[in-house]
Amino acid sequence: MRPDPVRTTLTGAVVLLAVAASTSGCGSAPPKSPPTGVDELTIPTESPDPADFVARIDNQWLPLTPGTVWTYQVTGEDGDQTEVVTVLDRAKVVAGVTTTVVHDVVKGADGQVVEDTYDWFAQDTRGNVWYFGEETTAYDEGEASTEGSWEAGVDGAMAGVVMLADPRVGDGYRQEYLPGTAEDQASVLDTAADVSVPYGDFSGALLTEDTTPLEPDLVEHKTYVEGIGLVREEDIRGGSDLGVLVEWVAP
């Protein structure tokens, strides 16, 4: 997803189980979402109910309004890169749910496209934002690869939550699920963090920690600002910024 700058192997799956007064998902009761779980959220579910989702994604921490554009400066092992994330005025039906399409393009210092990704998101009636998959093409010395692509409902892949409606410190959840391909999970570290990026200085930000068993040594911290979305992503073990917001344009 993004608007999560720089696609790594991170991304996750969580679903609302059928309980009273909750948005429902079908299937048997799987184990609780790691690392600590979220009320009425379990993983995974094979059959999200389209009736549990709404057309507009207006989550305060991850608003995905068509026409919104985020531009990130990226530093890492591959040198300086620029990432532009755009919410398209397009929909895609995934696993029976109508999702919003987000286009994520990463370019190297030479202006060449390094990665080109289409991500699919939908918001449930409670305000949680779900991740339904991605179609990604990565380029390396002229060679194209679609490794990392997945789609909920295909080959056992299941949608997951990327942003809670009301995050609480200690909440943990899967963001996606396709064994060996998409196993990201996140936990909430802070809901009143301070953050400084080229776009501006902010307080009261949301800080999460993202990990995946597919890359045990990778630990990412992501910071979200209310009304804007993701403003910073950093590799805390590698000591590099995987993305800092330099420009944000809302329609």
- Whether the bond between 5 and the residue before it is cis, its omega within 30 degrees of 0, is no
pLDDT at 5: 34
Alpha-carbon distances, residue 242 vs 70, 94, 189, 245 (angstroms):
14, 28, 18, 10
pLDDT at 79: 80
Q: Are strands 53-54 and 113-124 parallel, antiparallel or unpaired?
A: antiparallel
Residue 79 backbone zone (phi > 0: left; psi -120 to 50: alpha; other: beta)? left
pLDDT at 21: 30
H or E stretch at 116: strand 113-124
pLDDT at 142: 77
Instruction: Kindly report the average pLDDT of the chain as a whole number.
Output: 85
Alpha-carbon distances, residue 24 vs 47, 93, 99 (angstroms):
9, 18, 17
Tokens 């994520």, residue? Answer: 104
Pairwise pLDDT comparison (107 vs 142), residue with the higher score: 107
Tokens 């064994």, residue? Answer: 179
Burial class (CB in 10 A: 0-12, 13-18, 19+), 51: exposed
pLDDT at 242: 86
Structural fold of domain 15-249 = YmcC-like fold (2.40.360)
Q: What sign does the CA torsion over 39, 53, 118, 69 have? A: negative
Per-residue tokens: 56 = 């507009």
Average pLDDT over residues 45-51: 84
161 pLDDT more than 70? yes
Tell me the domain boundaries of the chain: 15-249
User: 29, 164 in Cβ contact below 8 A?
Assistant: no
The per-residue pLDDT for range 174-221, each reduced to its tens digit, is 999 999 999 999 999 999 999 999 999 999 999 999 999 999 999 999
